Structure 1
Amino acid sequence: MNITTVPLAVLRLQYQIFRFPLQMIEQQVFSRFPPDAPPRLMYERGLGMLDGTVGTVLGARDVQQRGAAMTERTDALARATALEEEAARKEQEADAALRAEREQARAQQSQAHEAKQREVAQAREREEERKRTAARDSEQRAKAAKQQADAEAARRTQAVETARRKEQEQIRAAEQAAAAPAEAQLKDAAGKQSEAADKRARAERMEELVGKEKAERNGQTPGGPA
């Protein structure tokens, strides 16, 4: 047996004695933690590094391999945990971004709806104003048309009245012109009748005088026996 073998074997036995409580702590305490719990990973990684260092120093390959395996396993679990945490963080960030985008979309939708409602209200107001303006314009046009129609009717009435008066004047003038010869003829006839009446009266007086003269010549008075 090599002389250096005995001390190393003693040191290895001492390390096993020293490590036993640590192993008991791992089994009794940290085994209750989830495999990826940070406290357990930290403790097991420290224990694995200790095994790796002591195994290298003592030339205990099994201890060294056990430490390396434990360190590698804890590192893998730590990397997986870190990746999971990073994925969870990114997922949370993505969820937060998605929620923010949804909130922004809802806000934009609400703003668009409000803007649409305002536009509809403004369009209705403009339409009502247009209707009121059109009604006022129509009323004014109707009033102007009525005034113009009334003026035209008055003008036509005045023209008809003027034409009627003129026509009546023309009729009266024509009647007067037509009646003038008749009146002259009536006057002429009346004069002739008066002249004839005078002539008859003179003739009757002459006849009466002649009768009286005959009667006187015959010695008879007018109205006596013959």
Structure 2
Amino acid sequence: MLGSLFSVLGLCLAGMATPGPDTFLVLRLASRSRAHAVAAALGIASALIVWTGLSVSGAAIVLRTYPSTLLAIQLLGSAWLAYMAYSLVQAARAAWRERARRKDGDGQEAQGWTDLATLPTLRGAYGQGVLTNLSNPKAVLFFAAIIAPIMPLGSPWWVGVLYAGSIVALSAVFFSSLALGVSTQVVRRRLLAAGPLIDACAAALFTAVAVALLVEAARSVI
């Protein structure tokens, strides 16, 4: 059982290490506030409770059996990601306009950009982490198609809880470590200098994922 658990955790870690909306959200917040980045990381881990719970309980099969349910999740996820992309574009434009107006040194420019990038509350950052992770319904298919087959067959309920809890804990540690590492003074200063570019790249990624979800939803209808 331990061998299967380590295999599952290894696959999940590889997936987390691949840059995606979750990673960009944590990086963006970490460049401004360590506490907000950690809150978002915990939100991402909390969302994984839903995905792992669906997979372990077998409910993922229901989503695949009833495409209309998955379609609704895809549309909602696409709408959320599109909204996030729009917000990021607005933040990047405001920062670039402010930098064009202020020509009195790198430190002043970075501070100006930080002031313009209004942070949500800690609860808001946590909610962003939850919604960003939940907006991608491919997560449940990843668990159902890749993770579930590795899990021991005919195992008692507590084995499923162990697997789900381990995945959620790994996610919390990974994204919290990313938040803590990026929000150090040296790294944060460099990220602040590239702040508008990070916003623009994150907006492009969020838009691409939103479009991909819409295309996949359209294919399922056709």
Question: As a proportion of its length, which structure holds more helix?
Answer: 1
Larger Rg: 1
* Greater RCO (CA < 8 Å, at least 6 residues apart): 2
